[in-house]
């Protein structure tokens, strides 16, 4: 009995630690969006990890402080990540190795993310690497949430039907794709290529005659619309086939946050790229991604999906 209680306590401590690291990663993603919308990406010049050749930026350089604090935030996540990795090794190397594999994946992604951050600075913010940097951050968030879900969730009964797991994976993939296309919109300078919403200027759906940037902008919007429909289909399927309140809350939460994200995206355009809306837009997109990853992992465990073994 005592041994069981100790194991449960360790399991709980790992879940809390991995979730804390995931929440910090979400905060870092939002902070990264603040860096972008305030044009502080080169606030520390092309130096890394130093800031314009110094440890601390000058007090009167706001852009440098924003970038420096972003790097400090990443260092904090690195410390939490090491603690999470140590806990996973200690608790799961002889148990559920899926948790250990997912945590090791998160650790590798953090190293890659840090290296990409340095490359982005050295190369002076090339759009391709900035987009890749954001994509790896999302994968890191997903890996941490996946590790927490694997450690915490215990299926009460294994279902043969894995359709919801598949739908959740598809929606998560769409969410990640939309995040990357959104970064491409920003990086290519297409943010205000369409100044109207929801359609492009003049009510165009596919504005071929308004240039490549307008077309990139509308493709992103149409992708968001398609994913919103896919999310509603997922929600409908969940409420038809699942009585599990957690699964229902995750699916409903993803739909509601997606609706809020669409609204914030509209405000971002209509406010001529207001900084606060831009940062909120990225944060909400990351939240949708995180909810869908968690739903996919839990449903994958419930149905013993092959991709999760």
Q: Is the dihedral of CA 146, 147, 153, 154 positive or negative?
A: positive
- In the chain, the N- to C-terminal Cα span, in Å, equals 29
d(CA 226, CA 179): 14
CB contact set of 162 (below 8 Å; sequence gap of 6+): 299, 300, 303, 304, 305
User: Is 299 one of the catalytic residues?
Assistant: no
Given its phi and psi angles, is residue 53 left (phi above 0), alpha (psi -120 to 50 degrees) or beta?
left
Alpha-carbon Rg for the chain in angstroms: 21
Q: Determine how many CB atoms are found less than 10 A away from the CB of residue 89.
A: 12
3-state helix, strand, coil in the chain (%, to 5): 75, 0, 20
d(CA 267, CA 79): 36
If you search the block for the tokens 């699942």, which residue do you land on?
242
Candidates 3, 67, 241, 299; catalytic one: 67
CB neighbour burial string for 50-64, b if at least 16 within 10 angstroms, e if fewer: ebbeeeebeeebebb
Q: How would DSSP label each residue in 37-88? A: HTT-TTTTTT-SSSBTTBSS--TT-HHHHHHHHHHHHHHHHHHHHHHHHHHH
Q: How many CA atoms lie within 13 A of 117 on its CB side?
A: 25
CB contact set of 194 (below 8 Å; sequence gap of 6+): 200, 201, 207, 210, 214, 217, 218, 221, 269
CB of 252 closer than 8 Å to CB of 235:
yes
Catalytic residues: 67
């Amino acid at each position: 009995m005592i041994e069981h209680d100790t194991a449960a306590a360790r399991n709980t401590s790992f879940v809390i630690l991995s979730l804390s690291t995931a929440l910090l990663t979400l905060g870092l993603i939002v902070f990264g969006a603040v860096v972008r919308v305030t044009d502080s990406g080169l606030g520390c010049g092309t130096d890394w990890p130093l800031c314009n050749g110094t440890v601390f930026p000058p007090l009167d350089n706001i852009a440098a402080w924003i970038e420096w604090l972003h790097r400090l935030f990443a260092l904090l996540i690195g410390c939490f990540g090491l603690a999470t990795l140590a806990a996973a090794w200690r608790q799961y190397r002889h148990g559920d190795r899926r948790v250990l594999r997912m945590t090791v994946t998160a650790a590798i992604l953090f190293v890659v993310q840090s290296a990409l951050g340095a490359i982005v600075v050295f190369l002076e913010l090339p759009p391709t690497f900035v987009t890749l940097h954001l994509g790896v951050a999302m994968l890191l968030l997903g890996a941490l949430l996946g590790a927490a879900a694997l450690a915490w969730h215990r299926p009460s009964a294994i279902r043969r039907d894995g359709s919801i797991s598949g739908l959740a994976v598809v929606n998560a993939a769409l969410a990640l794709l939309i995040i990357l296309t959104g970064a491409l919109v920003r990086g290519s300078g297409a943010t205000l290529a369409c100044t109207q919403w929801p359609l492009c200027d003049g009510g165009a759906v596919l504005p071929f005659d308004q240039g490549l940037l307008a077309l990139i902008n509308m493709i992103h919007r149409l992708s968001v619309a398609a994913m919103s429909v896919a999310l509603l289909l997922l929600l409908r399927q969940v409420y038809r086939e699942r009585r599990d309140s957690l699964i229902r809350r995750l699916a409903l939460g993803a739909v509601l946050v997606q609706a809020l994200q669409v609204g914030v995206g509209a405000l971002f355009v209509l406010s001529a790229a207001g900084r606060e809306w831009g940062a909120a837009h990225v944060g909400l997109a990351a939240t949708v991604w995180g909810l869908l990853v968690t739903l996919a992992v839990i449903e994958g465990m419930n149905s013993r999906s092959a991709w999760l073994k």
